[in-house]
Amino acid sequence: MYKNLPLSIRAAALAATTLASASPLLATEPAGPGIRLNTVGYLPEVAKTATVVGADKADRFAVIDSATGKIVLKGKLGESFDSPQTGETARLLDFGKLNKEGSYILQVPGLPDSAPFSISDEALNHSLENIMVGFYGQRCGEAVEFEWDGDTFAYDACHLDDAWLDYLEPEKAGEKKVSTGGWHDAGDYGKYTVNASFASAMMLQAWERRSEALESLELPFIPEHGGELPDFLDEIKFNLDWLITMQTENGEVAHKLTTLYFGGMVLPAEIDAKRYFTPTSKLATLDFAAVGCIAARVFRPFDAEYADTWLAAAKKAWDAAKEMSETPEDTSMFHTGGYMTSTDSDYRWALIEIRLAFGAEALSEMEGYIFKDAVDNDNRMVDVAWDWGRGYNLGLYSWLFSEEAKKDPAALERLELDLLSAADVIVRNSAEHAYGRGIRAYQWGSSGVLARSVMTLHAAHELTGEQKYLDSAYDQISYLYGRNPFGRSFVTGDGFQPPQFPHHRPSEGDQVEKPWPGHVIGGANPGELDWFDETGSYRTNETAINWDAALSYALAVFYQP
């Protein structure tokens, strides 16, 4: 939108648009009458459902082979029903009988043809590769360059002075500690311990559940490609190698590393403002401890020394966190992302991971009681919808699939039933929603919350083998790739008419017309039709690594080597 403006005024122009009160943004229009489906494609064995709007007089549908133009399947549309979230009348189109690989379109008399889609065992493989190139494109501290879909995306090495100690250790004002690397967090260039830990943990758990498939995932665009580690782990390790530098000598962990104010909508190397460590926080220290335990678990077969380094850092952080105040130190001088909330949930996450890593003897008597309650109580444990600040769910997944949990079969059974109860809510919500969406809330980062629900559904499928959980998981992915009121993909660089103007500084700061690929945008907020494909809409169109990480897990479930 502002790519043709001189760099000197681009940032100011963009800043003006982000002030919604001064310049209201126009909501993206729903697609109108038509057929909405997963525009990337379907695996042969999953349920295949599209949503039809405006088929008041039609009763039948046909599936057309794109290569031959011939009808390969005919069927009857479902009954009409109202969609209160969008004010539409919709009908479902079930073409699950079609399992043959190929490229197709759907037709309903009186409506435009659907977007083309494929049926293939590898239908989502490219989508996972797209998300992973998105992570590579978030790298800080080194030059980035890759080709994607005919375009070259690049920026110079950035933030090589990370970071100044003025606010972390005031007695060392004017001095630096090396903390280069890691991923830029979102549409901005900050690096935040809480979200970096959360995102890395989801991806590490994807490896724990799907390593047999992910070990063959090739990412030729990363410099480490062809090395000793699988590419998927190499990309995560790039972030972890930065994250460990956020720990101080006493074990506490700096909350974030940013400038004092958000920079302009330019490429990262063009921002020369100083970047500082903030003071430490208990939340960041707990999350660091939790992800450190998972990292040690995952990397031990490949690099025992690296695993030991993380295990020692995690234990040091855990011990430090126990002495820290719930009230964080003053960070009011920083006008960047907050990532601050209660530590209750993430304390339980860290507690479970420490118990798994070091055994029951590592816990005090009181910690033992809290741990027992964390993995075995009569209240809801697994959340239906959750985001950063609710890391307890990650701890429950770690415990659920551990050998340690099997030592108490009765408690494990209760946890399994609790997870299945949460999964059943998602399945039921999905079945009742016109577009198969299993999460009812629309909030900041609603796309990430939706993608994250696949973690629960996948766990339910692993426990039971019931196809309904896998089908519902695919429905959540389908919503993000076009089976939604807009008929568009919510992921840059992938699917039908993906977002064009994300709130993402590299996308606005370079000279390439397309945005950088591999990012799921935040999504509708606060209602299902409240999406703004505008750079200024950070509320609905920003990107963030925790949303991308959730989608990477979801896509990994269906990745086929």
Q: Which two tokens stand for residue 223?
A: 């410099």
d(CA 322, CA 252): 10
* 542 catalytic per annotation: yes
Residue found under tokens 């079930």: 94
Exactly one of 188, 287, 346, 387 is catalytic; which is it? Answer: 188
Give the strands of the sheet with 88-94, arranged side by side: 34-36, 49-53, 88-94, 81-83
> What are 277's strand-pairing partners?
257
Please give the DSSP secondary-structure letter assigned to residue 60.
Answer: E
d(CA 460, CA 454): 10
Q: Where are the alpha helices (DSSP H) in 300-408?
A: 304-321, 344-358, 365-375, 392-400
Q: How far is CA 264 from CA 9, 121, 133, 487, 519, in A?
A: 9, 43, 23, 32, 20
Residue found under tokens 């005031």: 170
* 188 catalytic per annotation: yes
Q: Please report the sign of the dihedral spanned by the C-alpha atoms of residue 294, residue 298, residue 304, residue 306.
A: negative
Q: How far is CA 175 from CA 165, 171, 330, 428, in A?
A: 6, 9, 20, 56
- Which of these, 167, 200, 199, lies nearest to 275 by C-alpha position? 167
Give the strands of the sheet with 256-258, arranged side by side: 191-192, 256-258, 276-277
Q: Report the 10 Å Cβ neighbour count for 92.
A: 17
Q: Which two tokens stand for residue 358?
A: 């070091």
Exactly one of 353, 533, 534, 548 is catalytic; which is it? Answer: 533
Exactly one of 433, 461, 503, 519 is catalytic; which is it? Answer: 503
Active site members: 188, 503, 533, 542
